[in-house]
């Protein structure tokens, strides 16, 4: 494989260290080829002659903006719409019904933490729109947050290729929520207007961010180092309002540390915030916000 790789071996190690330090993510030995392909594309977009020139500049001048873009490109996930479908079933059948009594007549905020190119954000907004008659009087706003990156810029545009819209998005939703623009598909303004995107370092402080009733952080827990997981979970615990929920992937768990969430998931990968929040909310931790497990907990063990 070395014949197709262009970087000095020492640069791979340096890039792995950079990714661990900036994002808390440990790249594996098998990421060498991924580093080449993802960063070559970034180098072209950044106007460099080749990948080596970009990496030389990154490590010789230590440009922060370039470092963030490099790490973001390395961490970009191959996202698809309605990925891990069980999570959306839980959202629609368990979490939103549980929160509806508290937020009827108000706004419920959902955050996609590490939203990459936005498929999770738009899928959630579509689900909310499809269920608006089921939850009258509850406005749902969806926000996506991630490191500043080319993927996040694409998410903000709401523009997807014809390959991307065919991964997980039912055709009826495509024609209801997207317009065809040239060869691409662009999210309609009616849906786009209910969505926000934020640039933010996922490991840094979140003091300037508002609280959310549901935070989705699904499918990426395993790639973070243990110290980074603790840091992220502490941040997420602060970001989630009391009575709110943390959604991990349906096969992910918090393990032994609960970070202010209830110990047992209310649904696969789904935890209720039972501790204090930093929103100043006076809402009571009432039974109204807890999903009725016997009637609404969906058993996926046989799925």
Residues lying near other proteins in the complex (CB under 8 A) are found at: 80, 162-163, 166-168, 170-172, 174-175, 179-180
CB of 123 to other proteins, least distance (A): 13
Specify the residue, 170 or 205, whose C-beta has the smaller distance to other proteins: 170
CA 244 to centroid of chain Cα atoms: 17
User: Cβ of residue 82: shortest distance to other proteins, in angstroms?
Assistant: 9
CA distance 19 to 70: 9
Euclidean distance between CA atoms 205 and 214, whole angstroms: 19
Phi (first) and psi of residue 204, to 5 degrees: -90, 180
Q: Between helices 64-75 and 9-23, what is the axis angle to 10°?
A: 90
Q: How far is the CB of 33 from other proteins (least distance, A)?
A: 19
Q: How far is the CB of 72 from other proteins (least distance, A)?
A: 24
Q: Is 250 helix (H, G, I), strand (E, B) or coil?
A: coil
Main-chain phi, psi angles of 191, to 5 degrees? -90, -40
Q: Smallest gap, in angstroms, from Cβ of residue 300 to other proteins?
A: 16
* DSSP state letter for 288: G
Nearer to other proteins, 89 or 277 (CB): 89
Our CB check for other proteins shows the closer of 158 and 244 to be 158
- Which residue number, 92 or 168, has a Cβ lying nearer to other proteins? 168
Is residue 159 within 8 A of residue 186, CB to CB? The reply is yes
Select 1 or 302, whichever has its Cβ closest to other proteins. Answer: 302
């Amino acid at each position: 494989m070395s014949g197709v790789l262009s970087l000095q071996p020492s640069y791979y190690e340096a890039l792995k260290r950079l990714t661990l330090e900036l994002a808390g993510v440990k790249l594996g030995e098998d990421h060498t080829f991924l580093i080449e392909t993802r960063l070559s594309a970034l180098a072209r977009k950044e106007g460099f002659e080749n990948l080596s020139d970009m990496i030389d500049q990154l490590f010789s001048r230590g440009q922060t903006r370039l470092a963030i873009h490099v790490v973001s490109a390395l961490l970009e996930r191959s996202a698809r719409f309605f990925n891990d479908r069980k999570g959306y079933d839980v959202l629609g059948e368990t979490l939103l019904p549980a929160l509806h009594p508290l937020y009827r007549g108000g706004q419920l905020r959902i955050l996609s933490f590490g939203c990459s190119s936005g498929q999770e954000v738009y899928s959630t907004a579509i689900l909310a729109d499809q269920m608006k008659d089921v939850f009258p009087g509850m406005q749902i706003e969806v926000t996506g947050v991630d490191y500043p990156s080319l993927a996040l810029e694409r998410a903000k545009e709401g523009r997807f290729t014809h390959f991307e819209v065919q991964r997980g998005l039912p055709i009826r939703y495509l024609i209801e929520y997207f317009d065809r623009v040239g060869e691409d598909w662009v999210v309609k303004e009616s849906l786009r207007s209910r969505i926000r995107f934020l640039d933010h370092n996922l490991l840094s402080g979140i003091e300037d961010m508002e609280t959310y009733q549901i935070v989705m952080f699904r499918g990426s827990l395993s790639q973070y180092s243990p110290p980074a997981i603790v840091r992220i979970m502490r941040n997420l615990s602060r970001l989630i309002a009391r009575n709110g929920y943390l959604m991990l992937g349906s096969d992910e768990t918090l393990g032994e540390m609960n970070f202010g969430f209830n110990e047992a998931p209310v649904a696969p990968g789904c935890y209720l915030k039972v501790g204090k929040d930093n929103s100043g909310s006076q809402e009571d931790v009432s039974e109204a916000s807890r999903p009725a497990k016997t009637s609404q907990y969906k058993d996926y063990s046989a799925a």
